Amino acid sequence: MAIVLLILLLLCVSSPLKAVFDPIFLERYLQQYEGYLEVIFIVAYTILTIFGIPGTVLTIAGGGLFGLWHGTLISIISATLGALGSFWTARYLLQSYAQRRFGKSKKLTRFQQAVLARPFGFVLATRFVPISPYNLVNYLFGLTTINWFDYTFATFLGVIPGSFAYTWIGVSGKVAMSGGDRLSLFLALTFLALLSIVPLVVKKQKKN
């Protein structure tokens, strides 16, 4: 997986795939398919997520394309489908190999036990953190025996705050780049920062 991620990183830096990380390019490119824009965006988001491409930039681009509320909804659906696709890929293509290769790994065993102890709550908490290694976690969950429905439903609910934050950044960033008010962008970034520290605050309170 490390080798695959390294190859993807090199492709994203030195090939036309780097356009994925350019929201302005994405917006201009996708606008030519205006009648099917939502469907194309969801399919592209899903496939890129399965291949390990971070969906953050796509969510930001979705804000510029569809606006705050419509963009948030589309990104939530896309992120959930991408997570489910990665989950099934890991479960049906990689699980047997992983069990043979890492079956005795204490870390994988602890992760499996933590997931099965509170499957819905564990996935929900993981998804709530907007800066977590989203794509890697998708595959890790697929290597466990968690029920796919619990995983999908918890993912759907858990990505809502982060999707809203990044979509808001996309909308407000587009306005700021065109010379408009930058206050909204500042508020969006502040909201994202607050989301990121919420788990730390909760963890600290539990210890106390």
Q: How far is CA 45 from the centre of its chain?
A: 10
* Of residues 37, 38, 58, 23, the one with CA closest to residue 174: 23
pLDDT in tens, 57-113: 888 888 888 889 999 999 999 999 999 999 998 888 776 666 666 556 677 777 778
pTM for the model: 0.78
- Positions in the chain short of pLDDT 70: 1-31, 33-34, 95-105, 130-132, 199-208
105, 72 Cβ separation under 8 angstroms: no
Write 95-101 long-range contacts (CB < 8 A, 24+): 95/142, 95/143, 98/143, 99/143
Residue 68 to residue 102: CA distance in whole angstroms: 42
58, 20 Cβ separation under 8 angstroms: yes
